[in-house]
Amino acid sequence: MYDVLVAGAGMAGCVAARAAAEKGKRVLLVEKRPQIGGNCYDCYDSYGVLIHPYGPHIFHTDREEVREFLSRFTGWKDFRHKVVARTGEGLIPVPFNLNTLHQVFGPEAERMERKLTEIFGEGSKVSILTLMKQDDPDLQRIGEYVYQNIYLKYTMKQWGKKPEELDPSVTSRVPVRIARDDGYFTNRYQGLPADGFTPMFQNMVQHPLITVWVNTAMEDVAEVRENRIWLQGEPFEGQVIFTGALDEFFGCRYGRLPYRTLEFEFLHQDVPDYQGHSVVNYTVSEKFTRITEFKHLTGQECPGTTICREYPKDYKGTEGEIPYYVIENEENRRLYSRYLQEAQKIQGVHVLGRLAEYKYYDMDAIAERALQLIRQLIS
């Protein structure tokens, strides 16, 4: 019946399913949630506001192939994402950049700017940990300010760890920028699907060779026996693309892989504007990390507004909890590689995406990986 079985209909699974179908393969895409789109899924709340129930998602990329691929299923609303942090100095632009420098340090900023530009070069990106290691007292002051006011408390809330205890790849996602640019991302293409993420995914899986079963977990239809996948009781001869959490797939037999989860608090307000910004990071106070106000993200015009506060916590694997963030470090990668070895023993199984590869991927990187994997599997 099917040539390819894809488990999970998020970015990884939907792109892989479509790419495989376009190569003439019959694809079964199973998704345990009642809807497709993974954590990018968006919908209208009971007040008619378009929200992202699994946290704010903004598409940004320099990858032409990915942009082109996705553009076949959606138009785009260009949107240059900006984030501000609420600190003692009021709202300041994040990532910390030369505008932030002037706002925070006033008349001293000019001298500091000269030093930053001389040492790192105009337009460069510097990680907070690099900045803090500088000998110059001005640069140390900047480093200390940024560390204390932007990174330390936010990172403690987000990860339960200090910035220096994390894999450097995490905090370097939001570097200090030696430029007068308040944009959160620097990618060429930035925006949201014109009608939302969900219609984009629906269009993507709309293909005569793709069958989608929602409310269907991988284990509802398939099992592993004799190092192969059995689909509904029959040995499956095709390729299997698995996008879920690998540890859970193997019953956590070597122990749980650590993840962070989020609790979202959605609130509708009968005011046209709550915070004037799409995202405000709370970097020195509060238990939540950030507040998203969706209408500023989506550009939707509506009388009221819906906001969302994010409370990160450890993922325990209890019913309904979602593993949003992998925690990349040596120890966790070692544990992950044991699960990967198990997966590699199973005929035709390939892992793809944030969960299955245990990697802090952005959306566009996942889409690229999915396209590459299908090219590699189906030449």
Measured CA to CA, the distance from residue 60 to residue 184 in angstroms comes to 10
Which of 16, 51, 174, 374 lies at the binding interface for ligand UDP (CB under 6 A)?
174
**Which parts of 93-132 interact with ligand UDP (CB under 6 A)?**
94
Q: 4: part of which helix (H) or strand (E)?
A: strand 4-7
User: Distance between CA atoms of 235 and 69, rounded to whole angstroms?
Assistant: 33
Site stretch for ligand UDP (CB under 6 A), options 36-44, 65-73, 153-161, 190-198: 153-161
Which of 74, 100, 155, 292 is in the footprint of ligand UDP by CB under 6 A? 155
Q: How many residues bind ligand UDP (CB under 6 A)?
A: 13
- Binding-site string for ligand UDP from residue 253 to residue 282, where x marks contact by CB under 6 A and - marks none: ----------------------------x-
| DSSP per-residue letters across 303-368 | SSEEEEEEEEEE----TT----EE--SHHHHHHHHHHHHHHHTSTTEEE-STTTTT----HHHHHH
Nearest-angstrom CA–CA distance, 352 and 152: 32
Of residues 29 and 355, the one with the C-beta less far from ligand UDP: 355
Output 195 or 328, the one with its CB closest to ligand UDP: 328
- Interface with ligand UDP (CB under 6 A), residue from 151, 242, 259, 361: 151
**Does residue 84 interact with ligand UDP by CB under 6 A?**
no
Q: What is the rounded CA–CA span in Å between residue 241 and residue 350?
A: 5
Terminal Cα distance for the chain, rounded: 20
Could you say whether residue 150 binds ligand UDP (CB under 6 A)? yes
Q: State the minimum distance, in angstroms, from the CB of residue 231 to ligand UDP.
A: 34
Using the rule CB under 6 A, is 49 a contact of ligand UDP?
A: no
The 185-214 site mask, x for binding ligand UDP (CB under 6 A), equals: ------------------------------
Choose among 6, 4, 3, 22: nearest CA to 216: 6
Per-residue interface string for the shown chain with ligand UDP, residues 283-312, x marking contact by CB under 6 A: x-----------------------------
* Smallest distance from ligand UDP to CB 161, Å: 9
Q: Which residue has the tokens 């994040």?
A: 94
For ligand UDP, the binding residue among 72, 173, 313, 316 (CB under 6 A) is 173
Stretch that binds ligand UDP, among 4-12, 119-127, 152-160, 243-251 (CB under 6 A): 152-160
Among 139, 170, 218, 374, binds ligand UDP (CB under 6 A): 170
Cα separation values, 236 from 43, 157, 240, 251, Å: 35, 44, 9, 21
User: What is the residue type of 361?
Assistant: Y
Q: Whose Cβ is closer to ligand UDP: residue 74's or residue 155's?
A: 155
Of 70, 10, 76, 72, residue with least CA distance to 41:
10
Q: Please pick, from the candidates 59, 154, 249, 339, the single residue that binds ligand UDP as defined by CB under 6 A.
A: 154
CA 183 to chain CA centroid, nearest Å = 17
Q: Residue 293: how many CB atoms within 10 A of its CB?
A: 21
* Nearest CA-CA partner of 292 in 42, 10, 70, 74: 42
Please give the residue ranges that form the binding site for ligand UDP (CB under 6 A): 85, 94, 150-151, 154-155, 158, 170-171, 173-174, 281, 283
